[in-house]
Amino acid sequence: MIKLRLTPQIIMALTYTPHLDTTFTCPDFKLPGVNGKTYSRADFENTAALLVLFICNHCPYVKAIEDRLIKLGEFMKTQQLQMVAICSNDADNYPEDSLEKLKQRWTEKKYTFPYLYDESQSVAKSFGAVCTPDFFLFDKNLKLTYRGRLDDSWKEPDKVTVEELKNAIVAQLKGEPTNPIQIPSMGCNIKWKKA
């Protein structure tokens, strides 16, 4: 009998985000960015929409949509909206998600939004983030309005027919309610540090 030993680097538990909780308010946070600056929630307030996304470098689900996230960031910038990414993975066991590697990827791909590093994982816990990618769209009062998937084809961009997250952002810009029917985002579970 052959026994296979799986290392932590190849264990990817598929996780889905929970249902939208419209009573949830954006938690305060203070984190270093890959650009050397420190950011807090106050840096992203006074906007019609704030999108906080939990992503990382190594997750295949994030890699598959990365270019679409960059494009969404460009759209939000043209609308004077705020978007910020946070990586909360355990970099000791997932070195591709270290601050240095995040900075390298952010620079190479020319991200148009800040990328923050949550080494203690306290910010991910305060948000209740569960996977990468995990999207949190807040309104001008910092109330959660959308927590679903990016679009209807995570793996094949040419098969996207509905850009659900972008539609929620546009609705918010128009002062319209976001669609209450939200399909959960899915991805690799956040790599929590062992206690």
| pLDDT over threshold 70, residue 2 | no
* DSSP code, position 184: P
The confidence score (pLDDT) of residue 87 equals 98
Task: Pick 23-189's CATH classification: 3.30.460.20, 3.20.20.140, 3.30.420.40, 3.40.30.10.
Answer: 3.40.30.10
Question: Which tens digit of pLDDT belongs to each residue from 131-169?
Answer: 999 999 999 999 999 999 999 999 999 999 999 999 999
In this predicted model, what pLDDT tens digit does every residue of 74-85 receive, in sequence order?
A: 999 999 999 999
What are the residue ranges spanned by the domains of the chain?
23-189
Residue 12 reports pLDDT greater than 80: no
pLDDT at 1: 40
- Determine the 3-state secondary structure of 21 from DSSP: coil
Strands (E), 13-171: 14-16, 30-32, 38-40, 50-54, 82-87, 115-117, 131-132, 134-138, 144-146
- 182 and 164 in contact (C-beta within 8 Å)? yes
Confidence of residue 6 (pLDDT cuts 50, 70, 90): very low
In this predicted structure, the answer to whether residue 73 has a pLDDT above a threshold of 80 is: yes
Average pLDDT over residues 112-122: 98
The pTM score is: 0.92
